[in-house]
């Protein structure tokens, strides 16, 4: 009998549940689709004798709305469960934790400082906004010395005496003012020069300055320390060569080349096919600089050297464009993930 079947389905429907959208969809198909149970009953309804049609028709309609109500109730429950975040622990550390990387210039700076501290050098520091005395005058640049033009200085407009330091040699001057020999310091820091920004030049970069002052310090000591540094930094096979040069604050002065780390000295575009690349300036501290720093130049001698950290980093990691160091492109920075 059709009414028995309707009651049976009604009882079944009161117990249905769905714990997923898929389960709910199969319930909808089972009861409400074209070939579903409700359609089946509608087909059977045609055979119901006329005098029962009214009663059976009402029963089928009741069944239909019951099923529809039940399905939409289940649908609502499912979407409420989806937006219910009560099972999320907000006190947990987010995962995965993205670790930052040390900047390549910091990695190389730390390595340089490490090498020199193993040779007995202590760290020293000084301001980036400096006065003319510490950057130039105490470093033996005369007032109208053309060497002042070697470095394009940024001036603080309202204070012609206050400038952004163009080299870390200003720290030498500050150390000498406050310390008597023996002095053995390494001074890393940022320096500024008014240059157009390109792949090979920037308006700021980083240097490491070294200074050693004591009795009987000679050029031989300088050479040995620099050779040791070059081999620690670039490998035991590294060769160095010193070429005579000029700096107001050292006499004699030299520039140091190392055998090209990229081609091993055979010649490549980085070393302009010479097999050598310049990495630093150095020399014996000019007696006038010692005196300006309050150190007796008849008792003491010293050497100094200064190198660009960007240059060392370029050589070590084949970075071809200086601008990469200050653009904060994480794709570039992440390449150094393994280096520290
Ligand atoms: N201050 C020099 C420069 O910036 C480098 C240097 C430092 C040279 C110490 C000699 C001695 O070019």
Q: What is the pLDDT of residues 168-205, one digit of tens each?
A: 999 999 999 999 999 999 999 999 998 899 998 999 99
- Report DSSP state, residue 335: G
pLDDT band at 30 (very low <50, low <70, confident <90, very high): very high
Measuring from atom 4 of ligand 1, which residue has the nearest CA? Answer: 167
Whether ligand 1 lies within 6 angstroms of the CB of 170 is answered as: no
Strand partners, 192: 204
Distance, CA 50 to ligand 1 centroid (Å)?
A: 112
Taking the centre of ligand 1 as the mean of its atom positions, its distance from the CA of residue 104, in whole angstroms, is 22
Predicted confidence at residue 257, as pLDDT, reads 97
Q: Are the CB atoms for 282 and 306 separated by under 8 Å?
A: yes
Nearest residue to 289 (alpha-carbon basis) of 333, 250, 317: 250
User: What spacing in Å lies between the alpha carbon of 212 and ligand 1's midpoint?
Assistant: 14
Give the pLDDT confidence score for residue 261 in this predicted structure. Answer: 84
> Looking at residue 146, what DSSP letter applies?
G
The pLDDT of 53-78, averaged and rounded, is 90
Cα 252 to ligand 1 centroid, rounded to whole Å: 13
Nearest atom of ligand 1 to the alpha carbon of 172:
9
Average pLDDT of the segment spanning 9-34? 90
Q: What is the bridge-based pairing of β-strands 250-259 and 276-285?
A: antiparallel
Say if ligand 1 is within 6 A of residue 210 CB.
no
E-only strand ranges, the chain: 122-123, 129-131, 155-156, 159-164, 183-192, 204-214, 240-247, 250-259, 276-285, 301-308
Q: Using CA positions, which residue lies closest to atom 7 of ligand 1?
A: 306
Please give the pLDDT value at position 245. 97
Ligand 1: atom nearest CA of 166 is: 4
Is the distance from the beta carbon of residue 304 to the nearest atom of ligand 1 less than 6 Å? yes
Confirm or reject: Cβ of 260 under 6 Å from ligand 1.
no
CA distances from 131 to 123, 161, 164, 205, 292 (A): 21, 6, 8, 19, 15
Q: Place 255 in a pLDDT band, splitting at 50, 70 and 90.
A: very high
Question: Per-residue pLDDT tens for 129-162?
Answer: 999 999 999 999 988 876 566 568 888 878 878 9
29: which 2 tokens?
């198909």
306 with 207: CB under 8 angstroms? yes
> By mean pLDDT, which of 97-111, 202-216, 230-244 is the weakest?
97-111
In this prediction, what percent of the chain has a pLDDT beyond 70?
98
In short, whether 126's Cβ falls inside 6 Å of ligand 1 is no
Q: Please state which of the ranges 92-96, 205-209, 303-307 shows the lowest mean pLDDT.
A: 92-96
Cα–Cα distance measured from residue 135 to residue 100, given in angstroms and rounded to the nearest whole number: 35
Could you tell which of 112, 130, 169 is best to mutate to test the pocket of ligand 1, judged by most ligand atoms within 8 Å of the CB? 169
Ligand 1 center to residue 306 CA distance, Å?
Answer: 4
Question: Which pLDDT does position 148 carry in this prediction?
Answer: 67
């Amino acid at each position: 009998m059709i009414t028995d079947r309707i009651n049976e389905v009604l009882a079944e429907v009161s117990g249905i549940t769905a714990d997923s959208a898929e389960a709910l969809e199969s319930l909808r198909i089972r009861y409400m689709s074209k070939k579903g149970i409700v359609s089946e009953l509608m087909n059977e309804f045609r055979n119901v004798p006329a005098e029962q049609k009214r009663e059976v028709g009402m029963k089928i309609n009741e069944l239909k709305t019951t099923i529809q109500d039940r399905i939409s109730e289940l649908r609502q429950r499912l979407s409420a469960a989806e937006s219910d975040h009560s099972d999320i622990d907000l006190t947990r550390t987010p995962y995965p934790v993205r670790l930052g990387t040390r900047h390549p210039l910091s990695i190389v700076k730390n390595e340089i400082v490490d090498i020199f501290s193993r040779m007995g050098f202590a760290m020293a520091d000084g301001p980036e906004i400096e006065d003319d005395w510490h950057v130039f005058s105490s470093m033996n640049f005369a007032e109208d010395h053309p060497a002042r033009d070697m470095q394009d200085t940024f001036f603080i407009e309202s204070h012609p005496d206050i400038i952004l330091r163009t080299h870390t040699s200003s720290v030498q001057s500050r150390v000498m003012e406050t310390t008597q020999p023996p002095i053995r310091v390494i001074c890393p820091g940022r320096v500024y020069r008014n240059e157009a920004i390109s792949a090979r030049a920037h308006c700021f970069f980083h240097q490491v300055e070294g200074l050693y002052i004591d009795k009987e310090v000679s050029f031989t000591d300088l050479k040995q320390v620099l050779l040791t540094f070059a081999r620690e930094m670039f490998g035991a096979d590294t060769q160095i060569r010193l070429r005579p040069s000029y700096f107001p604050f050292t006499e004699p002065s030299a520039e140091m080349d190392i055998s090209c780390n990229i081609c091993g000295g055979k010649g490549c575009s980085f070393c302009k096919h010479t097999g050598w690349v310049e990495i630093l300036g150095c020399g014996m501290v000019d007696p006038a600089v010692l005196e300006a720093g309050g150190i007796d130049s008849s008792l003491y001698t010293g050497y100094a050297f200064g190198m660009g950290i960007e240059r060392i980093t370029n050589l070590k990691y084949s970075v071809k464009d200086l601008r990469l160091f200050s653009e904060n492109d994480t794709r570039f920075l992440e390449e150094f993930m393994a280096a520290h």
